[in-house]
Structure 1
């Protein structure tokens, strides 16, 4: 059973935590910092001979085509993270289709790859936005990795979704984010703030429990999570904690994960499943 390393390739100001502070229309006014941490992640993956899936934001692909070309040249899978990082819970299905197609075109312009995998901003394929599956299938996508089978987060999650890879509808494959099951509760452990907040020894136990259950472990991170110099925006206390806590230790924890576990791309996992 293989595990997947994934990167949501967006700049620091694209995060949904900052939606109320930095508008999409003002993104071009911000300090672009995505290149250096992404190259650092690429170097780390190369050091341990690991392949990954990069969910590329179309907005970033249009402005940093050389970076996307570098990711593809290193042999990593290129997938879509949409174009404008609008949460699915706040847009219409028509807007979603336009935004998704715009992202596909931007990624193809940047590196010549047409993505077949998708991840929604902030995992916002939830019960009320399952209409996204039909649109993904219509536009030629083969899999989605947006569903978090948990109920602990205020902005996302489908608490009763399957923990393993499944087909939600129309032949599309869903690769859910990983949760460990403790005391009959689904505990998120796919990365992001969960990795940053928890001590590594405990986090590793959660990962091991996922793998021992016979499931692929799905990990994600963002380039900004290893950038200790990102601008500090005044946020509500809880959001500030969620966004800025332990940035200095993230890179080291990611390296330990790469040392302790085998990782590959999501497409590689699906290929193995189809031929197995």
Structure 2
């Protein structure tokens, strides 16, 4: 087994719930679409079992409510269940009251179904920034021990470029575990997965992840179940940009992921990070520069 440590994470949402299609798919109509999230998530579970990898599943409450058996299968396979919120709404579009309701609803659902405490939370689209720093207190007050809601990059939809690139504690005690980046040319480059994993050459991503793991001690990787689903219905009315982001190299995702799974000792977020919680520096979120 590889000595390189990694936290494998999967944001469990369906193909019609992604931000790229938010402008053409109404939340009120989600139940009208064919659900494929269970099929693709079980494909991920099979890959993890094949490579003896453990992962953290950040599951949408909406999905858990309709696919409770899938949540139980994740637990039975020895993986961690964490929260991706209930309705995949970006935090920047919610009031504190709306966000608290979303977080609380998802956590209760996931804990009732899984029978396990849900310690982790990841905001949809990494949508926590200086403009909604109140979210950290709400996440902690809901009972979460850690968040993985920050991507220290500059992106048109998310990102806090000035944020730490390694785990840190907020003044309220919440642990933040950012998505992994690689510093080059004075900028943080995204290497943690998602569409970048399908876009960039596998050799480049593998090199960057290993470099990060050797320098920082571990690496965070993420993907979505729909990235393993080449048979998903196509959103023909979506913009060219949205189609590019969503459909690029879907056919390459499974073999690439399989190759990556053999390169690291993949663990859950809780197992890899929470045992070291007292070692993380405290960072004042208000001191960070705006994106």
C-alpha distance after superposition, 1:5-37 (max 9, x if no partner): 001011111111111011111000000001111
Q: TM-score, normalised by structure 2?
A: 0.92
User: How far off its partner does 1:108 sit?
Assistant: 2.1
In the other structure, the counterpart of 1:178 is: 180
**Cα separation, 2, equivalents of 1:61 and 1:149:** 29
In structure 2, the partner of 1:20 is 23
In structure 2, how many angstroms separate the alpha carbons of the residues matched to 1:103 and 1:22? Answer: 21
Equivalent residue of 1:3, what SS?
Answer: strand
What's the CA shift for 1:272? 3.7
Runs of 4+ residues over 3 Å off in structure 1: none
Q: Does 1:86 align with 2:96?
A: no
Aligned to 1:163: 165
Q: Which residue of 2 aligns with 1:43?
A: 46
Distance 2:135 2:43 in 1: 33
Could you tell me which of 211, 220, 223 is aligned with 1:221? Answer: 223
3-state SS of 1:38 partner: helix
Whether contact under 8 Å (2:175, 2:277) holds in the other structure is no
1:260 alignment partner, SS class: coil
- Matched pairs, number: 275
| SS of the residue 2:189 aligns to | strand
Gaps spanning 5+ residues in structure 1: where?
none
Distance 2:129 2:232 in 1: 30
Counting only pairs closer than 5 Å after superposition, residues 227-242 of structure 1 correspond to structure 2 as: 227-233=229-235, 234-242=237-245
Per the alignment, residue 196 of structure 2 pairs with 194
Question: How far is the alpha carbon of 1:215 from its aligned partner?
Answer: 4.1
Distance in 1 between residues matched to 2:64 and 2:50, nearest whole Å: 25
Unaligned runs of 5+ in 2: 280-291
Question: Which of residues 236, 242, 246 in structure 2 aligns to 1:243?
Answer: 246
Cα distance in 2 for residues equivalent to 1:206 and 1:10:
27
- Residue in structure 1 matching 2:258, options 255, 258, 261: 255
Decide whether the 8 Å contact of 1:59 with 1:106 is kept in 2: no
How far, CA to CA, are the matches of 2:217 and 2:183 in structure 1? 12
Report the secondary structure of 2:24's partner residue.
coil
The TM-score normalised by the length of structure 1 is 0.96
Secondary structure of the equivalent of 1:164? Answer: coil
Cα displacement (A) at 1:3: 1.2
- Post-superposition offset of 1:257: 0.7
Q: Kindly state the Cα deviation for residue 109 of structure 1 after the two structures are TM-superposed.
A: 2.7
User: 1:169 and 1:154 mapped to 2: Cα distance?
Assistant: 28
CA contact (8 A) 2:128 2:150 kept: yes
